[in-house]
Amino acid sequence: MALTISDAVIWQETADGVSLYHTETGAFSTLNETGSKIWMMVEQAGEREPIALSMSRAYARGNDAVSRRIVTEVNQFIGSMVENGMLLEEA
Amino acid sequence: MTRVVVLGGGLAGVLAAVALTRHADEVVVLETDHYPASPRPRRGLPQSHHNHVLVTGGIRALDRLLPGVVDDLLDAGAHRRNMPGDCLIFSGEGWFHRVRTEADLIACSRPLLDEVVRRHAGIEVVQGVTATGLTGDAGKVTGVHISAEIRRPGRGHAGRLAELRTTTGTPLSDLPQIARTGSVRADLVVDATGRRSQAPGWLAALGVSPVEEVSVPSGVSYATRLYEGPGDIPAVMVHPKYTPARGGTLFPIEGGRWIVTMTGDPPLDEAGFLAYARELRDPVIADLIAKAKPVGPIRPCHDTANRRRRFEDVTLPEGFLAVGDSVVTVNPVYSHGMSVAAMTAVRIAEEGPSQRAVAEVADRSWRMAVAAPRKGGDAKVGRAMLSSPGLAAELFHGQALIPAVRDHHAVFRAMVDDPVEPLTAEQAISQFAWAR
Ligand SMILES: Cc1cc2nc3c(=O)[nH]c(=O)nc-3n(C[C@H](O)[C@H](O)[C@H](O)COP(=O)(O)OP(=O)(O)OC[C@H]3O[C@@H](n4cnc5c(N)ncnc54)[C@H](O)[C@@H]3O)c2cc1C
């Protein structure tokens, strides 16, 4: 599943995190630290699975339960970004 | 021979006549009033005592229709100001910085504007003739009934029929028929009789279905006074923030005068007017007029409702068109009516007469005037608008009836960057070469 940042989004990394502005809906938000990390990975990797994997590798420290939770949360976060039009996902 | 008869020699009528000379063999303009010998307010145009500014949409349209007319206006003493570059504006959000946009306004007295436009257009208007109804049927308008006195020979009226001339000064060829029937034949009748137009009733008398009229009260009254004052000052606007919607404006106009308007529920006595100006959110206008000499009385205007007559929604007879305030009048605080009239005339000149085109031009102004006030909005963007050229452009281009596009990068910067410190009144005033 290829992920791309919508052309309608203006964004920038700031001291507080990544700030996003959707030019069509007018929605603005600043992502927290984790959200910002995922956003930067989307920009570089552009795929759901590798992002979820690398987040779980970085934070689960081998704990399977934590790893599953991280994968679920990353997927939820990306899902919500796709839903609000900030990210586009193509099969 | 195609003939257009325009009813009303106000701005919309005169400009429609100019536009229609490109589409008809002859154009006749009938005006019930008499124009004064020099630019002065007149009975048929009671609003001409009040402040009338032309915004960029109207300025551009006027110059397109009558190239050079805007220079004539400025030569005659009108003042051009950029918004907000040459204006001192205290909006609900705060004081504007002097950023430049493409939105301008031209301020002069309404009588001067009308006179310069008429002179430049070089068209003859038949004065002292009142339209009283239409001839024809629900399928086709064939002419217009005119007031009886012009046909009645006798003392004071003898020979007045000969005054019926086209815009080029040619006497009408069918005077005997006009004398006999009391009506002037036309292939197209244009109603430009303004906000008190009787056209819906005239159409109904021909069997046309009722024209829907929507009225939305503005809730504000006007009080206007002229002062002697130098022209080298910005236009000054103090807008209301909350209800009661009390505001004030001061525009320099020709002849070393200022036209000062209080809006909301202003009193009409001297002391009350000054006190009202002083109690606005900032007393800058009160400070200016306290030192200036008033000219003439304080004049009220209560007829400020937004009114839209939906001529375009009924099956109109062939040979009829309504323009100007007859179609749409918006709360004067928007300063749109004359610009809408000019932009409509350009459409007519370029595309021919079309009620749909008239409605399209009217709609932008109408929607702006009757839109529910935007709730919330982002406070950071609102504040950034005071100093961001991109955000100010969107606002003022909209107000000036020119394309207003959202500068998304400016919105984003407003959200992300630290807000610019708001200007104090003293800082705002000192942007101009004058101190409180
Ligand atoms: C207080 C106030 C302030 C305003 N400020 C601004 C502003 O700042 N900027 C702006 O753009 N607009 C402003 N307007 C709106 C502006 O006045 C009108 O939009 C403008 O006058 C164009 O209208 P018009 O030519 O359609 O009608 P009018 O100017 O009213 O002209 C109608 C003409 O028709 C004539 N007439 C009427 N009945 C007949 C008849 N039966 N037969 C023959 N002739 C007839 C009248 O004598 C008159 O000359 C303001 C309005 C008001 C009330």
ipTM of the complex: 0.82
pLDDT of residue A47: 87
Task: Write out the residues of chain B at the interface with chain A, using a CB-CB cutoff of 8 A.
Answer: 378, 406, 408-409, 411-412, 415-416
Task: Provide the domain count of chain B.
Answer: 2
Kindly state if the Cβ of B57 falls inside 6 Å of ligand 1. no
- Omega within 30 of 0 (cis) for the link into B244: yes
Residue B404 lies in a domain: yes
* Nearest CB partner across the interface for A23, out of B378, B408, B416: B408
CB B93 within 8 A of CB B385: yes
C-alpha of residue B334 to centroid of ligand 1, in Å: 15
Q: Kindly state whether residues B426 and B325 are assigned to the same domain.
A: no
Top mutation candidate among B50, B62, B309 for ligand 1, by most atoms within 8 Å of CB = B50
Q: Say yes or no: CB of residue B366 within 6 Å of ligand 1.
A: no
Which range marks the domain in which residue B203 is found? 3-35+125-215+306-370
- Sites in chain A below the pLDDT cut of 50: none
Would the CB atoms of B416 and A23 count as touching at under 8 Å? no
Report in angstroms the alpha-carbon separations of B313 from A70, A74, B208, B430: 60, 54, 12, 51
Q: Give a yes or no: residue A10 inside a domain.
A: yes
Domain-embedded: residue A60 = yes
Q: Which amino acid is at B370?
A: V
Q: Are residues B211 and B130 in the same domain?
A: yes
Test mutation, B380, B407, B408, B418, chain A, max A CBs within 10 A:
B408
Task: Evaluate the CA torsion angle B73, B77, B78, B79 in order and state its sign.
Answer: positive
β B183-185/B141-146 pair status: antiparallel
Query: Does a structural domain hold residue A89?
Result: no
A chain contacts of residue B391, beta-carbon cutoff 8 Å: none
**Residue A26: CA count within 13 A, CB half-sphere:** 4
A15 in Cβ contact with A42 (< 8 Å): no
Same domain, B351 and B409: no
- Contact across the interface for B416 and A12, Cβ inside 8 Å: yes
B33 CB within 6 A, ligand 1: yes
Tell me, in angstroms, the distance from the centre of ligand 1 to residue A82's CA.
53
Query: Is any atom of ligand 1 closer than 6 Å to the C-beta of B51?
Result: yes
Q: Are residues B325 and B389 both part of a single domain? A: no
C-alpha–C-alpha distance, residues A3 and A46, integer Å: 5
Pocket lining: B339 vs ligand 1, CB cutoff 6 Å: yes
> Looking at CA atoms only, how far is residue A33 from chain B in angstroms?
16
Clarify whether residues B394 and B416 are in a common domain: yes
Q: Shortest Cα distance from A35 to chain B (angstroms)?
A: 17
Nearest CA to ligand 1 atom 5: B52
CB contact under 8 A, A23 and B415: no
Per residue of chain B (436 residues), give pLDDT as tens.
Answer: 699 999 999 999 999 999 999 999 999 999 999 999 888 888 888 889 999 999 999 999 999 999 999 999 999 999 999 999 999 999 999 999 999 999 999 999 999 999 999 999 999 999 999 999 999 999 999 999 998 777 665 444 446 788 899 999 999 999 999 999 999 999 999 999 999 999 999 999 999 999 999 999 988 999 999 999 998 999 999 999 887 789 999 999 999 999 999 999 999 999 999 999 999 999 999 999 998 999 999 999 998 899 999 999 999 999 999 999 999 999 999 999 999 999 999 999 999 999 999 999 999 999 999 987 665 568 889 999 999 999 999 999 999 999 999 999 999 999 899 888 999 999 999 999 765 5
Within 10 Å of residue B154's Cβ, how many Cβ atoms? 8
With respect to residue B41, please indicate whether it lies within any of the assigned structural domains: no
**Nearest residue in chain A measured CA to CA from B380:** A28
- Same domain flag for B317 and B424: no
Q: Does B233 contact ligand 1 (Cβ within 6 A)?
A: no
**Residue B317 and residue B421 in one domain:** no
Do residue A28 and residue B406 have CB atoms under 8 angstroms apart? no
Question: Would residue B344 count as lying in a domain?
Answer: yes
pTM above 0.95, yes or no: no
Question: Closest partner residue to A19 among B378, B409, B415, by Cβ?
Answer: B415
- Whether residue B384 is contained in a domain is answered as yes
Q: How far is B417 from chain A (nearest CA, A)?
A: 9
Three-state DSSP state, A26: coil
Query: Could you tell me the residue range of the domain that residue A22 belongs to?
Result: 2-84
Element (H, E) at B343: helix B337-351
Total structural domains in chain A? Answer: 1
Q: Same domain for B208 and B311?
A: yes
Whether residue B330 is contained in a domain is answered as: yes
Are residues B313 and B418 both part of a single domain? no
> What are the chain A neighbours of B411 within 8 Å (beta carbons)?
21, 23, 26
Angle between helices A33-44 and A64-83 (to 10 degrees): 70
Which residue does chain B place closest to A16, by CA atoms? B416
- Chain B CB contacts of A14 below 8 Å: 416
Q: How far apart are CA B354 and CA B337, in angstroms?
A: 19
For ligand 1, the distance from its centroid to the CA atom of residue B52, given in whole angstroms, is 11
CATH number of the domain enclosing B28: 3.50.50.60
- The C-alpha of A23 sits at a distance from chain B's nearest C-alpha, in angstroms, of 6
**Contact present, B308 and B197 (Cβ < 8 Å):** no
Q: Are residues B129 and B154 both part of a single domain?
A: yes
Distance B14 CA to ligand 1 centre (A): 11
Nearest-Cα distance to chain A for B377, in Å, is 10
The alpha carbon of B203 and the centre of ligand 1 are apart by a number of angstroms equal to 21
Q: What is the pLDDT of residue B397?
A: 97
- Own/partner contacts of B207-213, CB < 8 Å, gap of 24 or more, are B207/B137, B207/B138, B208/B138, B208/B314, B208/B315, B208/B316, B208/B317, B209/B314, B209/B315, B210/B314, B211/B309, B211/B310, B211/B311, B211/B313, B211/B314, B212/B309, B212/B310, B212/B313, B212/B314, B213/B307, B213/B308, B213/B309, B213/B310
A25: tokens are 């809906």
